[in-house]
A = this chain, B = another copy of it.
Amino acid sequence: MKKEKNNIEFCGQTIIHDDVVRDVNERMLFDETVMALAEFFKVFGDPTRLKILYALSISEMCVCDLAALLSMSQSAISHQLKVLRQTRLIKYRKDGKVVYYSLDDDHIRHVFEQGLAHVNE
C-alpha cells in the first residue's frame, strides 16, 4: 500500500518522499570518501592514461618508449606519468638516465578488466 505524498521544503528543495531521503541520507558516504573515489575514477577517464596503464600491464617501459608507442610528445607522456605516480597507480625505477615505469599493483589490472568487461558488454 503506497503511502500518501507529503511534500516538504528542506534547504529550498522540495522533498516528495522524506522517508526515503532520510534513510538514504543516513547511509550516505562521507564527502571525503566520495571525493577520493571520484579522483580515482577520474584518472582512468583519459585515453592517454588508459593506454599507458594498459601498456605497463604488459611490460615495464621507459618514457621514450611510451612516447613512441603512443606517438605522443615526451612532455605529454611525462605529465601523465606524473598524474599516475601521484595517484600511486604506477611506480618507477631509475637506471642511469632511463626511468622505467610499471604498474604499482595487480589490483589496477583488475579495475581495468572490470571496465573492459562493461564496455564489451
Interface residue ranges, A against B (CB under 8 Å): 10-11, 13-17, 20-21, 23-25, 27-29, 31, 33-47, 50-51, 54-55, 58-59, 61-62, 64-65, 67-69, 71, 74, 98, 107, 110-111, 114-116, 118-120
Question: Are the CB atoms of B116 and A14 closer together than 8 Å?
Answer: no
User: A69-B25, A114-B114 are contacts. A61–B20 as well, Cβ < 8 Å?
Assistant: yes
A9, chain B: closest CB distance, angstroms: 9
Q: Is the CB of A42 within 8 A of B45?
A: yes
Q: Which of B15, B40, B42, B116 contacts A37 (CB 8 A)?
A: B116
Q: In the complex, which of the residues B24, B67, B69, B116 contacts A28, with contact meaning CB atoms closer than 8 Å?
A: B69
A113 to B58, CA, bound (A): 25
Distance between A51 CB and nearest chain B CB, rounded to angstroms? 6
- Give the residues in chain B near A46, CB-CB below 8 Å: 38, 42
A88: shortest Cβ distance to chain B, in Å?
A: 10
Is A68's CB under 8 angstroms from B28's CB?
Answer: no
